[in-house]
Structure 1
Amino acid sequence: MILDCLIIGAGPIGLACGLEAQKNNLSYIILDKGTLVNSLYHYPANMTFFSTSEKLEIGGIPFISNNPKPTKQEALEYYRRITTANDLAVNLFEAVLEVRPSNQSKYPTLYEIKSTKATYKAKNIVVATGFYDIPNKLNVPGEDLPKVNHYYNDPHYYAQQHVAVIGASNSAVDAALEIYRKGGMVSMIIRGKQIGERVKYWVRPDIENRIKEGSIKAYFNAEVTQIFEDEIALRTPTSTITIPNDFVLALTGYQPNFNFLKDLGIDWADKTKKIPFYDERTMETNQNGIYLAGVICGGLETHKWFIENSRIHATLIIQDIAKKQD
């Protein structure tokens, strides 16, 4: 069977593309190397979205939550129900290994996609793989110790422990506050002179007050130079110091799989920021029949695209693919 469209990534935007394909009677399949909405699944257990529920809706299907800003568990339930209720063609725990043009002359474009479980042929490909799978590394000695983690889940694990939280974004601030309230001794290591500008407005006063009163120790204009079994070394503007440490949460951000884009032959619109080239009207890249959707469109600027402002990508892409079918 030759698919009209193969979608890589079963996150919210990948699912939105599947819904649009169904509406336009296009044959499709969605592949994901992990579970359904894999990135959301790995968000912290107690996370609350910055966006309100209606801004997380896809396919025009209402998202009802107990409060205006839904929780992670409510989002998982919503996207799971959308998938099952619409009988979306989703294959989970099936990673894409290789994409290559298929030798033929019948269609303008045809690709052969090899996964860990099967081989597919599709006229078009949508890459909606997000950015959460590859953390930005510290690249310091000791980063490979078991006590270092680039993902945070639940604060109870860190009770009564000396925890260094590296970063100043929403994820770092949430982790620091939650661990502190579960009895952890928290230190924040921040490269800049203040908490990140995009930290949620209702959380900022909390973290600033905890730092001011000394409940959470913050080291500004500082960076980690080495991680040891029971301490961590920092470089500050005035000196190099070591502090007691049991665990390190390096919440320094994440990036898309740029190697995969390179393998697909996608050019850069901005090489420095690794922003891939695509036509904003259709989301098609320089490779005919290959489209980008969601956060991956922002390259290293992972804060630029998120669910609420990239839902439109699904409509743009599927409309363009449908036109090609005519």
Structure 2
Amino acid sequence: MQNEEAIIIGAGPCGLAAAIELERIGLRPLVIEKRNIVHSISQYPTYMHFFSSPELLEIGEIPFTTANEKPSRLEALNYYRTAAQRHQIRVKAYESITSITPDGDFFILQGENRFGEKSSYKSRYVIIATGYFDHPNELGIPGEQLDKVSHFFRESHPYVGMKVAIIGGSNSAIDAALELERVGADVTVVYRGDDYSKSIKPWVKPGFQSKVAKGSIRMLFQSTVIGIENHAITVQGPEGPLQIENDFVLALTGFHPDRHFLNASRVTIEEEGFPTFNEATMETNVPGIYLAGVVASRHEANEIFIESGRYHGCKIAGHIQSLK
């Protein structure tokens, strides 16, 4: 068994920021990541640009420089990778933590790597910074499990000339629709709201509205997809059900934390489906287990939440230091 002072589960921006803050109070945390560093950002659309300006995404007092007004996905990958290297953060990649069990004033963590090899750790403090992106909000409708349905959008090329339905009205849905239209896809956006979301990036919204007005993109408000078939979808709208020819469905309906893992770790889940924690310290109802990053975001969008989530490590470090 490997003994550690503190273990951080998740090497996203907020997990890395927490590691830097713990180092500043004399701890030497181990960051365990089931995939690669900032995996969630690597899953973003290939040509995505952040809503936030670069200084709002900085960690560890390392400047985030870019020639653009808004940093790109590629620039962010390079930035966070560099931050981890400069601060010499200990990251154990491609290993999953499968359980956290209290052991007196410590915790026993069981891990498993991608080859099925087991490992175990003992740590006084555990910071869960796992994000959301492995747990999409499912629609619960017939056909959702078909191969044509995806909860992620990476790039438009695979959809050239295809009839694509996008479910959702957030920035991710709007950005995907614009990219798909540019490569010649036949795009229909299905959104349950009665008007455009107020969260849409202001520099993107006019162009999108223009595409809709010209008929280049079909926008269905007050509508939900109620069924998915091999070559069609059924949409329930204000005028009743409508069947639309379809090749692919992008269900960009958001994500939620791994409630099963949190519950198994004895972290309680509130009625709204989010974990219990103290916002002043980020400590959960289990003393010694903390949350950092989007796992504690409740309703906030992930790319915006990095702006505040990067400070969770300061709260955690301050609380741990006060206990000494």
In the other structure, the counterpart of 1:106 is none
- TM-score (structure 1 length as normaliser): 0.94
In the other structure, the counterpart of 1:298 is 297
In the other structure, the counterpart of 2:45 is 44
Q: What RMSD, in angstroms, separates the aligned Cα atoms of the two structures? A: 1.4
Distance in structure 1 (CA, Å) of the matches to 2:238 and 2:86: 56
1:30 aligns with 2:26: no
Query: Offset at 1:281?
Result: 2.1
Would the aligned equivalents of 1:131 and 1:302 in 2 still touch at CA under 8 Å? no
Would the aligned equivalents of 1:2 and 1:123 in 2 still touch at CA under 8 Å? no
**1:107-126 CA distance string (max 9 Å, x none):** xx200000004111000100
1:321 aligns with 2:291: no
AA aligned to 1:284 is: E
Distance in structure 1 (CA, Å) of the matches to 2:238 and 2:212: 19
Query: Offset at 1:2?
Result: 2.9
In the other structure, the counterpart of 2:243 is 242
AA aligned to 1:97 is: T
Q: Percent identity?
A: 39
In the other structure, the counterpart of 1:2 is 3
**1:274-297 CA distance string (max 9 Å, x none):** 232222221111111011111111
In the other structure, the counterpart of 2:281 is 282
Q: Tell me the secondary structure at the aligned position of residue 20 of structure 1.
A: helix
Deviates more, 1:34-43 or 1:19-28: 19-28
- TM-score (structure 2 length as normaliser): 0.94
**1:140-187 CA distance string (max 9 Å, x none):** 111111111110001111111111111100000000010001111101
Distance in structure 2 (CA, Å) of the matches to 1:252 and 1:186: 17
Would the aligned equivalents of 1:296 and 1:302 in 2 still touch at CA under 8 Å? no
Alignment of 1:218-237 (within 5 A): 218-237=219-238
Unaligned runs of 5+ in 2: 113-117
Would the aligned equivalents of 1:255 and 1:302 in 2 still touch at CA under 8 Å? no
In the other structure, the counterpart of 2:71 is 70
AA aligned to 1:112 is: I
Unaligned runs of 5+ in 1: 104-108
The size of the alignment, in residue pairs, is 317
1:189 aligns with 2:185: no
Distance in structure 1 (CA, Å) of the matches to 2:257 and 2:151: 15
In the other structure, the counterpart of 1:199 is 200
Distance in structure 1 (CA, Å) of the matches to 2:23 and 2:282: 19
Q: Tell me the secondary structure at the aligned position of residue 134 of structure 1.
A: coil
Query: Offset at 1:303?
Result: 2.8
Query: Offset at 1:85?
Result: 2.2
List 4+ stretches of structure 1 deviating above 4 A. Answer: none
Distance in structure 1 (CA, Å) of the matches to 2:107 and 2:86: 30
Would the aligned equivalents of 1:33 and 1:95 in 2 still touch at CA under 8 Å? yes
Alignment of 1:171-182 (within 5 A): 171-182=172-183
Distance in structure 1 (CA, Å) of the matches to 2:232 and 2:278: 49
Distance in structure 2 (CA, Å) of the matches to 1:225 and 1:20: 47
Query: Offset at 1:224?
Result: 0.9
Distance in structure 1 (CA, Å) of the matches to 2:244 and 2:148: 15
Q: Tell me the secondary structure at the aligned position of residue 79 of structure 1.
A: helix
In the other structure, the counterpart of 1:115 is 111
Q: Tell me the secondary structure at the aligned position of residue 261 of structure 2.
A: helix
Would the aligned equivalents of 2:297 and 2:305 in 1 still touch at CA under 8 Å? no
Q: Tell me the secondary structure at the aligned position of residue 211 of structure 2.
A: helix
Would the aligned equivalents of 2:257 and 2:274 in 1 still touch at CA under 8 Å? no
Query: Offset at 1:302?
Result: 3.7
Alignment of 1:103-142 (within 5 A): 103=104, 109-116=105-112, 117-142=118-143
Distance in structure 1 (CA, Å) of the matches to 2:265 and 2:56: 31
Would the aligned equivalents of 1:5 and 1:28 in 2 still touch at CA under 8 Å? yes
Distance in structure 2 (CA, Å) of the matches to 1:24 and 1:163: 51
